[in-house]
Structure formats: C-alpha cells, structure tokens
Amino acid sequence: MSRPARLALGLGGSFALLVVVVLLSLSIGNKDLSLVTVWSSLLDPGSSSGAFADTVVASRIPRTALGVLVGASLAVAGAVMQGVTRNPLGDPGLFGVNAGAAAAVVTGIAFLGLGASSASVWVALPGAVLAVVVVYLVGSGRRGTMPVRLVLAGAVVTAVVFAYVQAVALSLPTVFDSYRYWVIGSLAGRDPQLVLDILPFVVVGLAIALSIGGSLNALALGDDTARALGAHLGRTRILGAVSATLLCAAATAAVGPIAFVGLAVPHIVRSFTGDDHRWLIPYSLLLGPVLLLCADVLGRVLVRPGELMVGVVTAFVGGPVLLLAVRRMGGGAGSAGSARNARNADGRSRA
C-alpha cells in the first residue's frame, strides 16, 4: 500500500476514533450511561432509552460540541503557527492571542461591569485579534515580516499585556474572582450559545488552514528556496496568521486558555505523517478534539463527584505525551519530512 493510501486510511481511522470519544463524552459524567443507550438516544429520542437518558445526553451535547470545536481549533492553530514561524515550539499563544483575550476579559469585568460569562466571546475575541495586529506591527520591518522577529514581538507583547492583566486582577478582588472562572480553561458550565457564537470563526479559520497546506510546505524550506519555487511568502504568512488568530481567539474566548493541545497534537501527528502540512492539518483537525475530549472525560472521572478542569488535565497529560512523541521522532523524522516537502514543492513548481 502506498504512503498516501496509508495516510488516507489513517485519516478514516482518526475520524472513527473521534466518533468513539464523542460517544464516551456523552456517556460519562456524574451519571454514567452505556454507549448503547447514548446511541439510541441520539438516533431515536424517546424510544427505548427513556426520558432521563434523553435529558442527560441532551445536556451533554453542547459541552461535547464545544470540546470538538475548541480541540480542532487549537490543534490546527498550533500546526499553522509552527509552519508560519518555522518554530517547532510554536503554539497558539505565540502571537499574544491568549494575552489579548485575557486583557479584554479583565477590562470588560473591571471597567464595563461585565460578568465572566457575558464577557467571554464578544469581548475576548476582539482583544485577541488586536493583540495579533500589534504583534505584526511590532514584528514588521523594512525587509518584511520575519519569523524570528514575529516570535520576539509576540513574547514582548505577551509579557506587557499579562503584566496589565495581573495588575488589574490583583488590585481588584472582585475582578479576580470573576476572571479566575474564565482563565482556568474549562468546558464545564459554559453557555450552549457559545457553540453557535464561535462556529463561523472556526469554519473560516479551518477553511483557510486547509487551503494553505502546500504553501506551508514550501515555506518550511526557507524564504529563498520558497521564492525560487514561486511561493508567495507574504500572502502565506498573512493567511496563516489570520487562520491561527481566528481559531485560537475563538477557542480561547469561549473556554479560556487551554495549554498543550496546540503544541502537543501537531508533534504527535508529525511523528507518523512527517512535515507535510497537507496531511498534518487534517490529522490535527481530527486528533485535537480527541485529546481535549479525553482530557475532559478523565477530569470527570478522577475526582468524582467533582471534576478537574480540562485545562489542568491537558497540562498533566500533554507534557508526557509530547515528550514521548518527540523522543519517538528522534532526529530523522524532521529531515525526512523536509526532504519530502522539497520533492513535493519541486513537483508543484515543475507542474
């Protein structure tokens, strides 16, 4: 079987795994339901599953749907960010998205009289976008926008903005009490309307990310080689930044900052797909929700009858998983992936 056929088959398997994890998310909680009951309740509500099971499943659907959207957004944003900056440690917060969203939430609570729930999306989203714009303005120079300059600008803007967040939150106890509800990163207790609020941003961001996979392959070869192959560096970087910003800003605004998903998932996927973004992005889209929903389910089980916030679980689970994936990759996967990208890009230029 050829490599593309194997990867396509693996993509189908990843989708099947996501379906299984979604069913587990709908079945596990304070009151566990069997997978058969959940399936019956989804396909034919009010039949053999019973009114209680239908009510429980219906109450868990928004949380699970939010987990799917947020997991896909963070994982794809991480893959795109690593490709645009050519930084293997790039994550969705690299351009100050998390810091901008947090600053907007704190400002809304402190000076606009908003609660954490009402300030989540329509206040946090513009703040995240504004932070990225500032990073791009600071990181741009006469010779255009360079990856290293962008990373440094992101670090500076993040440090300054988080200093503002800490100053406001710690000086106003009422603001801190409301802010910590959002900043912990959790799928629990969120308004079901959030799914519809962030859906347009997620769809547009994913569509852009899927469309620039080949261009990100060329970008990985270096600016000079990419130009020689006919790649549009500025357009690719701008589209990548727009995609990652929309995805990460929507996810962060909805559930708060969640660590490791955007960093770990692309590395895990890269261990068996290589550096080809045409496969890396679709796999990240499917396996990001798998990781996030598994962490959410694990948080419900570990401390029953309470539960751990998903942001805490991903921090504990994501670190070892990322370490194992990087050790498995070793030193050869990256070079092999780069070589494949070179052949692919060369083939496109000749075509």
**pLDDT tens digit sequence for 247-270:** 988 898 888 888 889 888 998 898
- Across the range 30-34, mean pLDDT stands at 84
- Across the range 316-336, mean pLDDT stands at 61
- Residue-level pLDDT at 43: 81
Number of domains, the chain: 1
- Residue-level pLDDT at 211: 94
Token pair listed for 165 = 């967040």
108 or 325: which leads in pLDDT = 108
Q: How confident is the model at residue 325 (pLDDT cuts 50, 70, 90)?
A: low
- Residue-level pLDDT at 275: 86
CA dist 271 → 29, 79, 280, 327 (Å): 33, 13, 10, 9
CA torsion, ordered 75, 81, 84, 90, to nearest 10 deg: -120
Tell me the pLDDT of the chain averaged across its residues.
82
Q: How confident is the model at residue 332 (pLDDT cuts 50, 70, 90)?
A: very low
Q: Tell the burial category of 293 from Cβ atoms under 10 Å away from its Cβ (0-12, 13-18, 19+).
A: buried
Q: How confident is the model at residue 8 (pLDDT cuts 50, 70, 90)?
A: very high
- Residue-level pLDDT at 289: 96
Token pair listed for 88 = 């293997």
Token pair listed for 343 = 């052949």
Q: Is 262 in contact with 74 (CB distance < 8 Å)?
A: yes
Share of the chain above pLDDT 70, in %: 87
Q: Domain holding 124: CATH number?
A: 1.10.3470.10
Q: One-letter amino acid identity for 63?
A: R
* Angstrom distance (rounded) from CA 133 to CA 154: 10
Token pair listed for 175 = 């603001």
Residue 204, domain extent: 3-350
- Across the range 124-129, mean pLDDT stands at 84
Q: Is 298 in contact with 313 (CB distance < 8 Å)?
A: yes
What pTM value is reported for the model? 0.85
C-alpha torsion sign, points 185, 189, 193, 199: positive
* Angstrom distance (rounded) from CA 245 to CA 123: 15
Nearest to 231 by CA among 21, 83, 9: 83
Question: Does residue 244 register a pLDDT over 60?
Answer: yes
Residue at token pair 């990652």:
244
329 or 81: which leads in pLDDT = 81
CA dist 174 → 99, 180, 183, 206, 246 (Å): 20, 10, 15, 37, 30
